């Protein structure tokens, strides 16, 4: 049984990774229905929270049906991170997560995200101060190291556990790798099997099928798996993995009718959260992912992204369900 503090997550929990411009409440809603055990907000800038920036504040929105839910923060200044953790705590999530893994230049070049992998003492100090300032469990998401010469995750894991974090999620790449090449889970397994480590260790990177999830569970012994890109347009991935791990059998792939139904749910959540116009606009990025592999979908997508009428979008989706009835899209 994996536990983060007092939060029981089951025997082999599946976590939805925090993804910028993806892991908003509407997307989290369909992933929760699809079987995600623990979810995180998009990562939130500590400076943005302190300045009361509208975009950052909006990312604090969480809902009861999402629980357990973590708010993820990033920043390069210890004081600002502590202040933002206090603001996030007041939003009443189940835990606070610190991002030490984001590799993009706009984050790392400001001394935040994966940049902290170059300054482990500062990472430890920042984490320690955040643990002290909140009553909530604090978790961390990070990478193997900055580059191939500094894969220091074994040391990082011990030091962060020693100052009080309650779980660690590790992406199996360095910062220099970004998202290229194959994720290396060898060091993730070494961290998990270190007898000094008692907190849950979650592996992340390249899990895109039930078979790989079960293989990595058995090979590396992780407490659970964090899934990011494989969930985009495919919120069923969580229930598919759970079923395969439990039974060794595959769930049937969702047909077009089921995909249309979930797209409608996603769109409805988006409108309820952002309002009609913005909710419709922000849904545009998701259509191609939901209907990946559907023949001749490009002109249908064009109609969906051009329309600002909810009734019209619903009618287009209904046509998709009829036109492709009984067919499977390729997830």
CATH number at residue 277: 1.10.1200
Taking the CB of residue 54, how many other CB atoms lie within 10 A of it? 9
What is the CATH number for 194? 3.20.20.70
Q: Among 61, 85, 62, 55, which Cα is nearest to 73's?
A: 85
Residue 27's pLDDT is 96
Q: How far apart are CA 85 and CA 74, in angstroms?
A: 10
pLDDT digits (tens, 9 = 90+) for 38-87: 999 999 999 999 998 998 999 999 999 999 999 999 999 999 999 999 99
Q: Are residues 152 and 211 in the same domain?
A: yes
Number of separate domains in the chain: 2
Q: How far apart are CA 259 and CA 253, in angstroms?
A: 10
Q: Are residues 141 and 61 in the same domain?
A: yes
Q: Among 5, 1, 25, 21, which Cα is nearest to 13's?
A: 1
Q: Are residues 232 and 295 in the same domain?
A: no
> With contact defined as beta carbons under 8 Å apart, do 93 and 71 qualify?
yes
Longest Cα separation, the chain: 59
* Residue 329 scores a pLDDT above 90: no
Q: How far apart are CA 217 and CA 225, in angstroms?
A: 8
Residue 331's pLDDT is 43
* Residue 138 scores a pLDDT above 50: yes
Q: How far apart are CA 165 and CA 182, in angstroms?
A: 28
| Residue found by looking up tokens 């992204």 in the block | 305
Residues with a known catalytic role: 102
- Token representation of residue 160: 């962060």
Cis preceding linkage at 68, omega within 30: yes
Q: How far apart are CA 72 and CA 96, in angstroms?
A: 6
The parent domain of residue 305 ranges over 256-323
Residue 286's pLDDT is 95
- Token representation of residue 305: 């992204």
Q: Are residues 147 and 52 in the same domain?
A: yes
> With contact defined as beta carbons under 8 Å apart, do 275 and 36 qualify?
no
Q: Among 271, 282, 274, which Cα is nearest to 310's?
A: 271
Q: Are residues 33 and 153 in the same domain?
A: yes
Q: How far apart are CA 141 and CA 327, in angstroms?
A: 38
Q: Are residues 310 and 200 in the same domain?
A: no
pLDDT digits (tens, 9 = 90+) for 210-259: 999 999 999 999 999 999 999 999 999 999 999 999 999 999 889 999 99
- Let me know if residue 158 belongs to a domain: yes
Q: Are residues 213 and 274 in the same domain?
A: no
Angle at 168 (CA atoms; ends 94, 163), nearest 5 degrees = 85
Q: Is the dihedral of CA 244, 245, 247, 248 positive or negative?
A: positive
Domain stop point among 194, 217, 247: 247
- Let me know if residue 331 belongs to a domain: no
* Residue 328 scores a pLDDT above 60: no
Domain stop point among 198, 229, 247: 247
Q: Are residues 128 and 174 in the same domain?
A: yes
Q: Are residues 37 and 160 in the same domain?
A: yes
Q: Are residues 168 and 297 in the same domain?
A: no
Domain stop point among 215, 230, 247: 247
Q: How far apart are CA 24 and CA 65, in angstroms?
A: 14
Separation of CA 110 from chain center: 22
Q: Are residues 113 and 204 in the same domain?
A: yes
Q: How far apart are CA 305 and CA 257, in angstroms?
A: 20
Q: What is the mean pLDDT of the chain?
A: 93
pLDDT digits (tens, 9 = 90+) for 256-297: 999 999 999 999 999 999 999 999 999 999 999 999 888 889
> With contact defined as beta carbons under 8 Å apart, do 2 and 225 qualify?
no
Q: Are residues 205 and 288 in the same domain?
A: no
């Amino acid at each position: 049984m994996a536990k983060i503090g007092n939060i029981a997550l089951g025997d082999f929990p599946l976590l939805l990774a925090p993804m910028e411009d993806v892991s908003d409440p509407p997307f989290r809603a369909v992933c929760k229905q699809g079987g995600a055990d623990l979810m995180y907000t998009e990562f939130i800038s500590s400076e943005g929270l302190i300045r009361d920036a509208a975009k950052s504040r909006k990312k604090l929105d969480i809902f009861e049906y999402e629980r357990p839910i973590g708010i993820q923060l990033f920043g390069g200044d210890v004081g600002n991170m502590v202040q933002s953790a206090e603001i996030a705590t007041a939003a009443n999530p189940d835990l606070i997560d610190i991002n030490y893994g984001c590799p993009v230049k706009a984050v790392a070049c400001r001394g935040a995200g994966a940049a902290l992998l170059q300054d482990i003492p500062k990472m430890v100090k920042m984490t320690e101060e955040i643990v002290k300032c909140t009553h909530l469990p604090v978790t961390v998401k990070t990478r193997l190291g900055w580059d191939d010469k500094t894969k220091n995750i074994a040391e990082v894991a011990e030091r962060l556990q020693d100052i009080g974090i309650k779980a660690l999620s590790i992406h199996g790449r360095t910062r220099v790798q970004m998202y290229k090449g194959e994720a290396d889970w060898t060091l993730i397994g070494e961290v998990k099997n270190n007898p000094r480590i008692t907190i849950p260790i979650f592996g992340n990177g390249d899990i895109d099928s039930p078979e790989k999830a079960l293989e990595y569970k058995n090979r590396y012994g992780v407490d659970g798996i964090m899934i990011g890109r494989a969930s985009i347009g495919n919120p069923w991935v969580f229930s598919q993995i759970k079923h395969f791990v439990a039974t060794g059998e595959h769930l049937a792939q969702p047909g077009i009718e089921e995909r249309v139904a979930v797209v409608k749910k996603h769109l409805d959540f988006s409108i309820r959260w952002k309002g009609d116009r913005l909710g419709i606009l922000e849904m545009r990025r998701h259509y191609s992912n939901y209907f990946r592999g559907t023949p001749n979908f490009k002109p249908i997508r064009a109609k969906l992204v051009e329309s600002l009428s909810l009734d019209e979008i619903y009618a287009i989706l209904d046509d998709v369900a009829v036109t492709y009835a009984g067919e499977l899209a390729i997830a």
